Amino acid sequence: MQEHAIVWFRQDLRITDNPALAAAAHSSLAVIPLFIHAPGEEGDWAPGAASNWWLYHALAELDEELGHLGLSLVLRKGPSLETLQSLVNEYHVRTVFWNRRYEPSVIERDSGVERALEAAGVEVQTHNSALLYEPHEIANRSGQPFRVFTPFWKHLHSLPVRGPVRVETRQLNRSPNPPVSQPLDHLGLMPETRWDSEFYACWKPGLEDAARALDDFVKDRIDRYQANRDRPGVSGTSRLSPYLHFGQLSPRQVWQAVLEAGAADGKGGHTFLSEIAWREFAHHLLFHFPETPEEALNESYRHFPWQPDEGYLQAWQRGMTGYPVVDAGMRELWRTGWMHNRVRMITASFLVKHLLQPWQAGARWFWDTLVDADLASNTMGWQWTAGCGADAAPYFRIFNPILQGEKFDTHGHYVRKYVPELAELPDRYLHQPWEAPNEVLSKAGVRLGENYPKPIIDHRAGRERALTALADNKAANQAAGN
């Protein structure tokens, strides 16, 4: 009977630079490419709706690419261990290959699967495909995890970065009688109500599209990345994050592309590589501090006096706070499954500081609505904003949404696109329409409180409330002897 190997695809939905697939190609075994949909095994962080939309299209594209190699992607619903054991028994599987993930629940699941398969006499080979270096390979001089980004980045930048792994696709052996796949539509990834209509104009979640997006960025925009990355009204960022999250691009491929373009020493290229390192840092923290998706890394913030308010939270989620740049960001998120990074910081700061809503509530909303929702990056970003994570912005640093809008969306291209009810306002009043004279509002068709909300909280009042909460938290910690 033909011996087989399973390549268990997860967040590595690509052919190129896929170490697990490369190892399978060298094994001389007949290869079964497998994807198991088992969101319940990811604990409290099963993929959200926007992530599932991307996953659907990424799986379809991967199946097509595998088809060019004479292989078919086998889709199954979990549980993962039972699915693997069934295929192992039916197809005389000698080895199971997969690329590692770093979320706490997935690490626990994978460890159990590995033990069970090896106990049954099946070899398990796992590889790193998602990071430049494994989290346990990076440590400070004391051998401890880094908690500050700058020394982490300096250390990482001093290390040689391995190039992409070559996959010898001609050596991939096909099964003479491959398993029958469940239809992709049976995984329930696509929305029942079509809220995703604008996604198709914004995204092309294919492997060729990932390569093209990387090439276009490196050739056309990376030199201006340093100057333009904070301006949401221009195409200044890479928009590679969903391709990286789902493994349609690897960080090694991105790193190599920047080096080969000769851009690494320029301001734009150096800054962009530091953002790849920021992603690495996020995974470093999640691996070493697995409680952080729910708990503040800084223990003195674990009992912060938040004031949960469903009305505030919903106004923020719907982009109806009365602060134009905040509302533009939240509407961009809902319409496109993505938000510009500068605006992510502005909207997050507004929620946790002006509105005093717990950062976990914001993290949950981003998790469900971002196509690039990544547990490591999402967690670190929200804890950074809330002042309670590694290398975090101090809680007393409170973004002024008016000044942020005026500085980074000076001529209002971004706000006018996503908050069209304000489109006719002059630049002078666009980021604070409540300051506009009545005749200016009337001429622009703006009726505050009717077709656009008044601010749900005064900026100064929100700032003072946040600082009071910070002082109360400090006093409570001192009283507790912390």
Q: What's the CA gap between 386 and 82, in Å, rounded?
A: 41
Residue 240 parent element (H or E) = none
Peptide bond into 176 cis (omega under 30): no
Q: Is the pLDDT of residue 446 over 90?
A: yes
The one catalytic residue among 41, 382, 384, 400: 382
Q: Which CATH class is domain 299-479?
A: mainly alpha
Query: 64: closest CA among 211, 208, 172, 245?
Result: 208
Catalytic status, residue 168:
no
Domain coordinates in residue numbering, the chain:
4-129, 131-163+207-288, 299-479
Confidence of residue 481 (pLDDT cuts 50, 70, 90): confident
Catalytic status, residue 278:
yes
Residue 185 parent element (H or E) = none
Mean pLDDT over residues 144-148, rounded?
A: 95
The one catalytic residue among 306, 421, 424, 434: 306
Q: What's the CA gap between 62 and 60, in Å, rounded?
A: 6
Question: What per-residue confidence (pLDDT) applies to 480?
Answer: 84
Topology annotation, domain 4-129: Rossmann fold (3.40.50)
Tell me whether the CATH fold assigned to 4-129 matches the one assigned to 131-163+207-288. no
Query: 8: closest CA among 105, 114, 159?
Result: 114
What DSSP letter does each residue of 325-338 carry, written as one string?
HHHHHHHHHHHHS-
The one catalytic residue among 3, 42, 298, 341: 341
The one catalytic residue among 3, 114, 134, 275: 275
Q: What's the CA gap between 41 and 111, in Å, rounded?
A: 12
Q: Any alpha helices (H) in 46-182, and if so which ranges? A: 49-68, 80-91, 104-119, 149-157
Question: What per-residue confidence (pLDDT) applies to 453?
Answer: 98
Mean pLDDT over residues 204-221, rounded?
A: 95
Q: Is the pLDDT of residue 266 over 90?
A: no
- Residue 281, both tokens: 């840092």
The one catalytic residue among 153, 255, 316, 359: 359
The one catalytic residue among 3, 42, 195, 278: 278
Cα(first)–Cα(last) distance of the chain, in Å? 65
Q: Any alpha helices (H) in 92-203, and if so which ranges? A: 104-119, 149-157, 199-202
Catalytic status, residue 42:
no
Catalytic status, residue 382:
yes
Confidence of residue 393 (pLDDT cuts 50, 70, 90): confident
Confidence of residue 345 (pLDDT cuts 50, 70, 90): very high
Q: Is the pLDDT of residue 258 over 90?
A: yes
Q: What's the CA gap between 394 and 388, in Å, rounded?
A: 8
Catalytic status, residue 275:
yes
Q: Is the pLDDT of residue 263 over 80?
A: no
Q: Which amino acid is at 210?
A: A
Q: Is the pLDDT of residue 370 over 80?
A: yes
Q: What's the CA gap between 212 and 248, in Å, rounded?
A: 12
Per residue in 218-246, pLDDT (tens digit) is: 999 999 999 999 999 999 999 999 999 99
Q: Which CATH class is domain 131-163+207-288?
A: mainly alpha
Question: What per-residue confidence (pLDDT) applies to 267?
Answer: 85
Peptide bond into 79 cis (omega under 30): yes
Q: Taking a C-beta distance cutoff of 8 angstroms, is the pair 320, 455 a contact?
A: no
Confidence of residue 392 (pLDDT cuts 50, 70, 90): confident
Q: Taking a C-beta distance cutoff of 8 angstroms, is the pair 45, 105 a contact?
A: yes
Q: Taking a C-beta distance cutoff of 8 angstroms, is the pair 354, 420 a contact?
A: no
Average pLDDT for the chain? 96
- How many Cβ atoms from other residues are within 10 Å of residue 303's Cβ? 13
Q: Taking a C-beta distance cutoff of 8 angstroms, is the pair 23, 344 a contact?
A: no
Share above pLDDT 90 across residues of the chain, in percent, rounded to a whole number: 95
